């Protein structure tokens, strides 16, 4: 019960009969102060149970050691991996995360950006909402030179860095894979092309078709929210097609839609992959549970979060000037599992 009142640097100063200024410097390990004095200060601090007052410090230094994280949703497997990776990278450097979600809503994203700004975060990590159309709400950050790092759902901005995977390449490869399995009527379940991830996946799919001499059919391209319901709806759409118009494969831009589409088709007694082969994106846990297992694209949210934070912190510490290059692309591996192997065409 020694802790009643907060201990300040003045208490340490008094205790050591030195000035508060020296204590302040000593606490920051400023090499300008005598090494033995520094040691004494550290000891006294521990002895007295001192904890630095972040506000007073922030008020003076204008640094919060806080990073704002703005995501569409918290509750997806991918995003929680990203956050976990971020937290792991930030914590050892003494940075904290303030996390907010936009609920895929541009308006809420805007509001959250204001909050982050007012909280004076040292930097911002952001993955854009489904329907965000411009970056005006980030202007305050740009204006004040507060570093912004985009990840996953990015937007090219010359003064910011982006961390993404090669969505085009992955989509290309997985589509090509379906072609190699003998599929030639490959349907695509896509998302809003306002977002790079969905635009690039669509483009990769289209390019792969083209390179294989297959036509891109509007009828076999559905764009939607990629939710469970969207997956079910897509299945209904397929079932409503005349048998000869049906796709022989589906490449979905995420696993959620793919899996729920599969489930509905299965309950309508279509065989997977014999009647319709499937491929998804994200390597969500459900992709390993569905029978047959879903072919999908694995990319580590953890790594992405880690890289985003590390780059931001390096920049904050002035260690790197990575902002000269403004995009970092991560590997994204394709996972080939049962679904494709069982393919008998």
Partner DNA sequence: TTGTACGCGTTATCAG
Partner DNA sequence: CTGATAACGCGTACAA
Provide, rounded to whole angstroms, the least separation between the CB of residue 89 and DNA. Answer: 23
Question: From the CB of residue 166, how many other CB atoms can be counted at a distance below 10 Å?
Answer: 17
> 147 is written with which tokens?
């570093």
142 in Cβ contact with 123 (< 8 Å): no
The Cα–Cα gap between 234 and 36 comes to 72
The Cα–Cα gap between 338 and 23 comes to 64
51 contacts a copy of itself (rule: CB under 8 A):
yes
Return the DSSP state at 137. Answer: G
114 contacts DNA (rule: CB under 7 A):
no
Report the residue from 44, 50, 90, 161 that binds DNA according to the rule CB under 7 A: 50
115 contacts DNA (rule: CB under 7 A):
no
Provide, rounded to whole angstroms, the least separation between the CB of residue 141 and a copy of itself. Answer: 12
24 contacts a copy of itself (rule: CB under 8 A):
no
100 contacts a copy of itself (rule: CB under 8 A):
yes
Size of the site for DNA (CB under 7 A): 29
29 contacts a copy of itself (rule: CB under 8 A):
no
The Cα–Cα gap between 207 and 65 comes to 44
Question: From the CB of residue 7, how many other CB atoms can be counted at a distance below 10 Å?
Answer: 20
Report the residue from 1, 2, 4, 32 that binds DNA according to the rule CB under 7 A: 32
Nearer to a copy of itself, 35 or 62 (CB): 62
165 in Cβ contact with 326 (< 8 Å): no
Residues 59-98 that bind DNA (CB under 7 A): 59-61
Residues 285-314 that bind a copy of itself (CB under 8 A): 285-286, 289-291, 301
Scan for tokens 């985003």, then name that residue.
308
56 contacts a copy of itself (rule: CB under 8 A):
yes
Query: Taking CB under 8 A as the rule, which mask of x and - marks residues 207-246 in contact with a copy of itself?
Result: ----------------------------------------
Instruction: Let me know the angle formed at the C-alpha of 199 by 211 and 255, rounded to the nearest 5 degrees.
Output: 90
Provide, rounded to whole angstroms, the least separation between the CB of residue 121 and DNA. Answer: 16
Residues 6+ apart with CB under 8 A from 167: 196, 197, 200, 201, 204, 332
Report the residue from 15, 20, 185, 207 that binds DNA according to the rule CB under 7 A: 20
CA distances from 216 to 38, 92, 152, 188, 211 (A): 70, 49, 26, 10, 11
18 contacts DNA (rule: CB under 7 A):
yes
The Cα–Cα gap between 330 and 161 comes to 13
Binding site for a copy of itself (CB under 8 A): 1, 3, 51-56, 58-59, 64, 66, 73-77, 79-81, 83-84, 87, 91, 96-101, 112, 115, 117-120, 140, 143-144, 259, 263, 285-286, 289-291, 301
Binding site for DNA (CB under 7 A): 6, 8-10, 17-22, 24-25, 27-28, 31-35, 37, 50-53, 56-57, 59-61
């Amino acid at each position: 019960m020694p802790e009643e009142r907060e201990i300040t640097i003045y208490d340490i100063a008094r205790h050591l009969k030195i000035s508060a200024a020296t204590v302040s410097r000593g606490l920051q390990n400023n090499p300008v102060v005598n090494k033995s004095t520094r040691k004494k200060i550290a000891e006294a601090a521990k002895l007295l149970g001192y904890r630095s007052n972040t506000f007073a410090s922030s008020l003076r230094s204008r640094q919060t050691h806080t990073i704002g994280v703005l995501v569409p949703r918290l509750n997806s497997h991918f995003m929680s991996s990203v956050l976990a990776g971020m937290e792991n990278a930030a914590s050892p450097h003494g940075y904290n995360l303030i996390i907010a979600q936009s609920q895929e809503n541009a308006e809420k994203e805007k509001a959250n950006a204001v909050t982050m700004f007012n909280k004076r975060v040292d930097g911002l990590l952001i993955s854009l909402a489904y329907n965000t159309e411009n970056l005006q709400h980030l202007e305050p950050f740009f204006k004040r030179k507060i570093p912004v790092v985009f990840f996953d759902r990015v937007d090219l901005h010359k003064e910011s860095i982006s961390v993404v995977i090669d969505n085009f390449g992955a989509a290309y490869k997985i589509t090509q894979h379906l072609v190699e399995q003998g599929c030639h009527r490959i349907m695509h379940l896509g998302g809003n092309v306002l977002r790079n991830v969905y635009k690039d996946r669509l483009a990769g799919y289209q390019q792969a078709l083209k390179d294989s001499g297959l036509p891109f059919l509007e009828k076999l391209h559905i764009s939607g929210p990629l939710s469970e319901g969207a997956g079910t709806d897509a299945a209904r759409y397929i079932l409503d097609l005349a048998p000869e118009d049906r796709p022989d494969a589906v490449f979905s831009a995420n696993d959620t839609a793919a899996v729920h589409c599969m489930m509905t088709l299965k309950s309508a007694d279509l065989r997977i992959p014999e009647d319709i082969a499937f491929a998804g994106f994200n390597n969500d846990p459900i992709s390993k549970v569905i029978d047959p297992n879903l072919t999908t694209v694995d990319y580590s949210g953890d790594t992405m979060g880690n890289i985003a934070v590390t780059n931001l912190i390096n920049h904050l510490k002035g260690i790197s000037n990575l902002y000269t290059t403004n995009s970092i692309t991560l590997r994204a591996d394709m996972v080939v599992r049962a679904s494709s192997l069982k393919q008998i065409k």
